[in-house]
Amino acid sequence: MRNFIILLFFTSTLVLKAEEFTVFEKDGYFGIKDKIGNVTVPAVYEKLGWSNGSTKVYDGVIGFKRNNLWGLITVRNKPLTGQKFYTIEPLSNSHFKASIKGKFSNHLFHGILDDKGRTIISFNYFSVEPLGANWLVSVFSNRGQHFGIVSFENKLIVPTKYESIQNKRSILIGKQFSQKLDIYQDNGQLRQLDIDSIKYNNGYIAFRDGYAGFLSENGTELHPFEAKNFTLRDSKASPIPFSEWTVYQNEKVLMKWKCDSLSLSSNGILIAYLNGSHHLLLGNNTLLDNHELILKEVAENQLIVQNSKSRKWAVLSEEGKTVISGYDTIHAVSDHYSCKDDEGWHLVDRQGKTINRLPLQSLSPGLTNQFLAKRNHHWGIIAVNSIKPTTFKYDSIVTSQNEYLVSYLNRWGVLNKNEEWIVRSEFHEVNSIGGLIIGRRGKGYTVFYEGNPLYKTISKPITEIGNHILIEGDSMRLGLMTEYGEVVIQPWYDAIRRWSDYYELKHGQYIELINNQGTVIIPYHEQYQEIGGYGEGYFVVRKEDRWGFVDQKGRLRISNRYDEAAPFNEDLAPVVLRGKWGFIDKEEKIVIQPYYEWVSGFSNGRSVVRQEGKYGLLDKNGEAVLELKWKSIRRLQTGNYIVQDMNNQYGLVDENGSFIFRPFYDYLQDLGDRVLVSKNDAWGILDYTRHPIFKINYKAIKVIGDFTMIKN
């Protein structure tokens, strides 16, 4: 009997598929006929088909529209759902995507119906699409769409928090908004967090924090994240290790580390570089025994770290004791920490005490002992030493020197540290320049000092320039005014540039030069075209495309007769006559004849010069300290010079032209008391007597400050 029922089911199915159904129209309404013309659905519907415009029948099921809402019926006119959907369209013969409107918004929420009209994916999502053996869904927030994965059993197996999700073989890759990747099995089991990149090769080579690991096809870790890369032979992955570096401090071994290279941060912390990522390294044993902890930041005597496996952040004391833990990210903010978890941001002090009672949307430093915080889309000021509760009522807050620039009820003003208005919120915008507050209302500007209005202006104050304020008038023209509002230069210049205590004003082809008091030094009618530099009381000026020099009173001291010129230094200025460089003094006496293709300014009585493509070194009498036969000469802060010969070998000479090192090395760096050199891809460090401190037999050496880093 059971076999007969199954046979009957398949027979009826085949008969149904063999029938052809078409949608017909009558008096503006729609119905369905079978292939011999029998009406199976009367013409009583506004539409039959789908909201995408198709009228195709899917296994005896079609959509209908009545009173501007959609539902599902069979071709035998059996209702499968009521008319309650705003859209409905087929995804397959047995799955139909439909949408309803939300209760509290005009957003459409999508779900999936089966061919019996049953809801198999609930109507909770901004979008729903098939993805492999699951459904790709999204929700909508202020940051846009967030994607997740729902199984065919209507269970959320990947949380809706990703910018995008891809299906790769038997894994799902969720791309975070930070561009990091999380790896799930296709059943939703989390396998890996915060992957930087991943590539398939009989498994997956994945990179995280600069380290390479090898994953199986379902994302299981087969090789730990500690290699530089992997090679595959006969489908077997073999790790490629990082090079090992030894770090010396004052010639004593400080540590050994495996990485691509090492450097030093501005605050004296070692940095290890690995495949484009970097890690901070301490010169003590606090983290050496726990390689899972990655040092992210040093805040005075505390360490901000991240666990490479759990991806959670913590704060440790220098001795390694946990002060704060369990957050998704932590940043040092002034003398506190901003810590983020799933609920939001929290302000935590150096002892691990949380300051704010409720989580925040955003957190940033304010003035001393204060922080700017956002909650419920409004900003407030948290004062850590105050019992006064924080009120979140401002549209926006910006810290500026000793006050806050604040938008309140769509108007800008200024608050002091006590949250008192020193400039009422009545401006379209406010800005801070030096010690002044600039408020704009319409096209007019009011300038305040310590909360008191000084003056009004129709010119836009832009920025400080020397002890003046750069202002902008009509047509983007520039001028200058004092901090007290006196306009010393009307805004009609194209550009303004400062030279020491002077200002160059450019209008059209010509310039003016004024001093700090606004006194004209070079008037516009003199038709000077450009100032090319300033040195030792003389400006290099161009007129009629020839260069000369004027003094600080605007007097022409050296006529505009030169093709090019550069500022005076050590009483001599480089000039060009007939295409060649030489030097003149301030009396315009030619001290060194124009003979050279290029010259540098004098420093410590020496100038680097070039003639016929070869470099040499001259003294101030024009005598050769080092003859013109070098491919390059580079002046160093030590007072020495690195020379390169025509065979690309480097040497080191002092300012008298005496050789400290003859040209012999492929690379040379003068460290002030010793010299880093390389020869035939081997590196070493020698003292000034050429005795080895480190023999020339290492793969690489870097020297920064007290640290010597040697690649073994």
Q: Say what percent of the chain tops pLDDT 90.
A: 86
Among candidate residues 625, 620, 626, the one with its CA nearest the CA of residue 601: 620
The pLDDT of 562-573, averaged and rounded, is: 98
| Tokens of residue 573, six digits | 């200025």
The pLDDT of 593-601, averaged and rounded, is: 97
For residues 29 and 222, what is the distance between their CA atoms, to the nearest angstrom? 63
Amino acid at 678: S
Strand partners, 272: 262, 279
Band the pLDDT of 19: cuts 50, 70, 90: low
Which runs of E-coded beta strand occur in 384-523? 396-400, 403-408, 411-415, 421-427, 429-433, 436-441, 444-449, 452-457, 460-465, 468-472, 478-481, 487-493, 495-499, 502-507, 510-515, 520-522
SS3 at position 686: strand
Asked whether the predicted pLDDT for residue 18 surpasses 80, the reply is no
Q: Which of 483-487, 603-607, 668-672 shows the lowest per-residue confidence on average (mean pLDDT)?
A: 483-487
Measured in whole angstroms, the distance separating CA 380 from the mean position of its chain's CA atoms is 27
For residues 650 and 636, what is the distance between their CA atoms, to the nearest angstrom? 14
User: Exposed e or buried b for every residue in 79-106, given b needs 16+ CB within 10 A?
Assistant: ebbebebebbbbeeeebbbbbbeeeeee
The pLDDT of 648-663, averaged and rounded, is: 96
> What is the per-residue DSSP string for 356-412?
-SS-BSEEEE-STTEEEEEETTEEEEEETT--SPP---BSEEEEETTEEEEEETTEE
pLDDT tens readout for residues 616-645 = 999 999 999 999 999 999 999 999 999 999
**pLDDT at 291 (0 to 100):** 77
What's the whole-number average pLDDT of the chain?
Answer: 93
Task: Please state the domain extents for the chain.
Answer: 20-221
> Could you identify the residue written with the tokens 């699409």?
129
Quote the pTM value. 0.80
